[in-house]
Amino acid sequence: MKKITLSFIGIFTLITSLTFSQTYSTGVIELLNDGNNLYTAQIEVTTSLVTLTLSGPDNKYLGLGFDAMSMTAGKDVVIWLNDGTFKLTDRSFLGVGAEPALDVEQDWTIISNTSSGGQRNVVATRLPDTGNSDDFVFSTSASSIDLVWSFEDTSSYTLGWHGILNRGMTRESFTLSAPSLTKTDFKIYPNPGKTYLNIHLPEFNADAYLEVFDILGKKIYANTLGAINNRISVSKWPTGVYIVRVTLGEQSITKRFIKQ
């Protein structure tokens, strides 16, 4: 019984620390909106995680460089490729006109990749400081950042010239992000339940992520929430108490679910 009690306390300690973690965000940055193409970015930073959201034409590569106003050699850059591999590549600039080189360590992890109406939305995460010399170190407090961006001039996913208009630079500020979820924002039902667990979100958000832990703190389920109403099968779960956690960015809300 002691082991169960201590584990239960431990997971709630973890949940509490995540729930009240401060998030610094650039908000959604409109890099380009010319009536034909819309390209936006958002960066959110906590002490433990950076979350990058890119949204742009789904038939082109999307590039974003950090701490730079040009293709300055040595600066950190990420490039989304949809050439059949669906990946966000971690790279470094080699200078103007040169294809950015792949880093030895690929530190970004894609947690969401959706496409609708010709628009691609990619969400990826990494540590603020990866420990790699070729990666930009994100500040975990209010600060500013220089960004350089581009996307493909054609539609072939070729890492080549971006064209005259499909590139630019901006300086943005990180400010403390207000919480966007409350306990009443998402609902789980039936609770207790035997066969299915339904999860209702107040509105669709491609960043919403679900995790379920058993009473010993073991993660038994994790997935993105792809709709306002979501259903997962729990028929094979052992009877007992589970912790259901929904995360948006780095702000988390939890509820308890009882499996009959």
**What CATH number does residue 250 fall under?**
2.60.40.1930
**Is residue 109 situated within a structural domain?**
yes
**Is residue 197 situated within a structural domain?**
yes
**Is residue 76 situated within a structural domain?**
yes
pLDDT of 180 reads: 53
Cα 120 to Cα 113: distance, rounded to the nearest angstrom: 7
Mean pLDDT in runs of 10 for the chain (260 residues)? 44 41 83 87 91 90 94 96 81 94 94 85 93 95 93 80 86 73 70 90 73 85 82 91 80 82
Global pTM exceeds 0.75: no
118 and 81 belong to one structural domain: yes
- Number of domains, the chain: 2
55 and 115 belong to one structural domain: yes
User: Structural domain of residue 242, as residue ranges?
Assistant: 187-259
